Structure 1
């Protein structure tokens, strides 16, 4: 058994390549979906909220005559 040759090639380097690919995909998707959330949901909601409070402040100022 000491001189037996395995019928398949050793897996050297596969873990490292797979890890780099998995990390690249995870970071890429995380960045993509993070930006999609930030600019597709968070910023429009924030701008709508700010516009609402600006309108209320303008109405309040108009009632007070400022």
Structure 2
């Protein structure tokens, strides 16, 4: 046999690729969620609370 058979490399590469993809996906998913989504949600909620407060003040409630 002139070339050694390739054994286990595909499995190791697959496990490495999946682990890396899942790890990076979780990291960037959390970065988006807590770095962009949550602050924007809080800003939106505060805006609508302010509008509701102004409406209630106008209506005398």
Q: How many residues were matched structurally?
A: 61
Question: How do 1:1-66 residues align onto structure 2 when only pairs under 5 Å count?
Answer: 5-6=1-2, 8-66=3-61
TM-score of the aligned structures, taking structure 2 as reference length: 0.93
Deviation at 1:10, TM superposition (A): 2.2
- SS of structure 1 residue aligned to 2:5: coil
Q: Could you list the runs of 4 or more consecutive aligned residues of structure 1 that deviate by over 4 angstroms after TM superposition? A: none
Whole-angstrom CA distance in 2 between matches of 1:27 and 1:11: 26
- Provide structure 2 residue ranges, at least 5 long, that are not aligned to the other structure: none
- Provide structure 1 residue ranges, at least 5 long, that are not aligned to the other structure: none
TM-score of the aligned structures, taking structure 1 as reference length: 0.86
CA RMSD of aligned residues (A): 0.9
Q: Going by fraction, where is helix more abundant, 1 or 2? A: 2
Whole-angstrom CA distance in 1 between matches of 2:42 and 2:24: 26
